A and B are shown apart, each in its own frame.
Chain A
Amino acid sequence: MKKKWRSSLTVSVLTAISVLFLALSFGQEHLTAQSIAVEAGVLHTGVSEPIENGVVLIEDGVITAVGSASDISIGDQFERLKAAVVTPGFIDAHSTVGLSGIYNVDADQDQLETSSAIQPELRAIDAYNAREELVGYLRDLGITTVHTGHGPGAVISGQTMIVKTGGGDTIQEVLMDSVTALAMTMGSAVRSNFDKPGTRSKAVAMLRQALIDAQDYASKEDKKRDLGKEALQALLEGEITALVTAHTVSDITTALRLQKEFGFPMMLDGASEAYLLIDEIREAGVPVIIHPSMIRTYGDAQSASFTTAGVLAEAGIPVVFQSGYEAYVPKTRVVHFEAAIAVANGLSHDQAIRSLTIDAAKLLGIDDKVGSVEIGKDADLALFDGDPFEYITNTTAVIINGEVVYRAE
């Protein structure tokens, strides 16, 4: 593992040197000028029926052609990559990787600040380790975009952001969206991390008061800057979203109640018992980032079911997948492993692919760049030697911004 780390470091240094050289000599804008033709036995675009014998052309980091092999001629300048199945790079709609690290020691766990239960001012960009091994682990499995940041466990634990899992070694290089959501939690997890609140109802009272204070702050002309209130103001003005982790019926209904009271945009996260509140969730127009299918069935999530993603999708509720936050092992889950269990338990294969790609991109507001194989979009692709949901399938290559960032030996 260490060896791999060094070699990737060497590669990055070499890349940096060659990039610098290219920039000096040609002054070109697109520096990853690699032309790749991806030939797929089955090509999932995320926005159409799967294409058999599909081809994707990649130039200057973006997709320049998509279609059937019979319709696209591949010029000599293209490096050819073949795979049984090709999909858009998968999107993990909610994770903490990069803030939480592989070793699970104080030095690499920054997803939860326990000094106070409400801290909307904590920025994810200030704590993200782009070189975290778990990020590379997810990337090499085909996950190219991650919505990550502060985790569950506080009333408001902080901000989240969106990054790519490759194409750079610093937060600046991989950042797609610096502030996406405020991570909130309703449920029993909060009181185990804080003395105050000690109950669910106190947590809600504290949250409502903070939002009311932010309304007051927003209405004032002359004011001292307050980072926390600024973040809440952004939420109230709809610039960012509330990512509310809630599992039980009472916690989900409380989340919906608050959303109605303050009118902020909201994503429901976890939602183990969502199958008991289909009408309410649909009526609220709230999307669901469903709990990992393999979440452990205890505590607030004891009633979790493998079938929930399928049930919600069937009811017309937008549902996407997450790796979630894990306190122990596995330190991160893998979104398409989770989606696979949902497909085995009622979710359609096509919907699962869309949930992992274009639907997640739309939900996160990044569908202009990623989430589908379409002309003009970032060339982020995952290549597999079979159905990506089969346990025995391996990822054979991963492309981010037109660059091959992983290739199976």
Chain B
Amino acid sequence: MNRLRALSANIAPISLLVLVFIGCALIDGRILAPANLMIILTQSVPILILALGAFIVLLTGGIDLSAGVSVTLGSIVIASMLTTGANLFPALAAGLVCVVVIGIANGTLVTLFRVPAFITTLATMSCIQGISLLLATRGVYVINEPALKWLGTGRVEGIPVSILVAIIVICAAYVLMHHTRVGLRTYATGSDPTATALANISTSRVLMLAYVIAACFTFLAAVMLIARTPIVTPNLGGQSLLLDAIAACVLGGVSIFGGRGTVLGVVAGSLIVSLFANALRVIGVDPSSIDLMKGALVISALVCDVGIARLRGGVLKEESHDYR
């Protein structure tokens, strides 16, 4: 019985995906046309990768608001280096360093100075926005790098490369979160930091690592984004991508109180977000209303999250967790 309940919690995001899928099929057949499905999948790749990073931070009971603008910064660093004649790998390395430094800064403020995660990342978000604008002296960059282009639009045996990349990233995240010490300790820290510390685990180190790993995913998301859209502006990524990623996590059953959620759930959540946005567009909803719909989706997912928690009989964690 208990097993069944636990199982149903894991399956919930996937069944939600199936439901949305069936709903789309009933509303408009065009949504499920193979060509459109492929578009949905490729569009979901950056959201998915960013969501996996956000998931790791949410697991610890924190949040990374700077992830969206980190994507912007990473993209701009890579693009500006490429357009000034640098090779691909130094450009990617520079981008990675920038984003990881942000992760380290976030981690340091959260662990060493105990600044609440959302204040930390809200502040770094503002700083990163400034740096991005400062760096983007030319405003718009057009990347013309064959390797990146292949990553974004190429195909191997008819399968888009970006989807292959996504599958590799999903597998890596799955192994990391479900089959290594780091993953287990991240879950433990988010679920109950005091009890975890009693097991002689440095929760500060776990938190720090979570922010750095999340930064690596953020970097990958940036790469996949500019691989698909070679025109890079300071408006790329940012708030709306972050919101998509957080929505994907919440829809994927990641608890906002930390400690609960699965990689597969996040994958399902990302696909729901992507499918939802695409379906709205296909049906012909005015583009200006799509944000409203997404907002409503996030709020309903939050309410469902609380509903599920109450159904499970789990007590919501106390107020002191508000800011972590």
The finding on whether chains A and B are genuine partners in a shared complex, rather than unrelated, reads no
- Give the B-binding residues of A (Cβ under 8 A): none
- Give the A-binding residues of B (Cβ under 8 A): none
